[in-house]
Structures are given as structure tokens and as C-alpha cells.
Amino acid sequence: MMKMTKSGFASMMRGLRNFSQCFTVEFTKRDGTHRVMNCRMGVKKHLKGGDLNYNPVEKGLLTVFDMQKNAYRCVPLDRVKKARIDKHEIQVVAG
């Protein structure tokens, strides 16, 4: 398992903006519950038009497509605990 800082993980994920393979991310939601999500980035099929009323990057969020719920979701990058990307497990640590 590879360890990565929160800021390093956030930079890596923003750099993989068009990464189209499925990956798993474990994080704590804003209400305190634990969430494991299978998701993808770069999905355009389900867009309904229009823009978000906020900039997700400014709020520290990563917009992904949730493969289980078939809907777009935002992952708070500062609350990610683990991720599994392309057979690599990453543990996100403070720092």
C-alpha cells in the first residue's frame, strides 16, 4: 500500500481529470458517515446541460460519476481515507 499526503492526492486526482477507468474511493461524508464509492471521472453521457453554481475545485471537491447510483457526486478531497486506482491501493495521510 502506498501512502500519500492529502495535498498530493488532491493534485494527482485533478491531474487525472480524464481518467476513464473505474476506481474506488473511501471517505467520510460531511455528515460524518463513512462512504465507499465506485466511480469514474470524465463521464459525459448523463449531463443534462447547465453549469454548477459553484466551482468544485475552490471548495476542495472532485466531481465523479457514481457507478452504483448512476449519478454525479462530489468527493471532498480533504476527507478521503483510501483509494484503489488501477490495482494500486493508496492510503491518504495528513500532511
**35: confidence class by pLDDT, cuts 50, 70, 90:** very high
Q: Which residues pair with 82 in a beta bridge?
A: 26, 91
- CA-CA distances (angstroms) from residue 61 to 54, 55, 56, 78? 11, 9, 5, 8
Q: What is the mean pLDDT of the chain?
A: 88
Number of domains in the chain: 1
Residue-wise pLDDT for 40-74, tens only, equals: 987 767 667 667 777 888 999 998 889 999 988 99
Range of the domain at 44: 2-93
**pTM for this model (two decimals):** 0.84
12 pLDDT more than 80: yes
In sequence order, the 6+-apart residues with CB closer than 8 A to the CB of 41 are 13, 16, 17, 18, 19, 20, 62, 63, 64, 65
Nearest alpha-carbon partner for 64 in 74, 54, 56 = 74
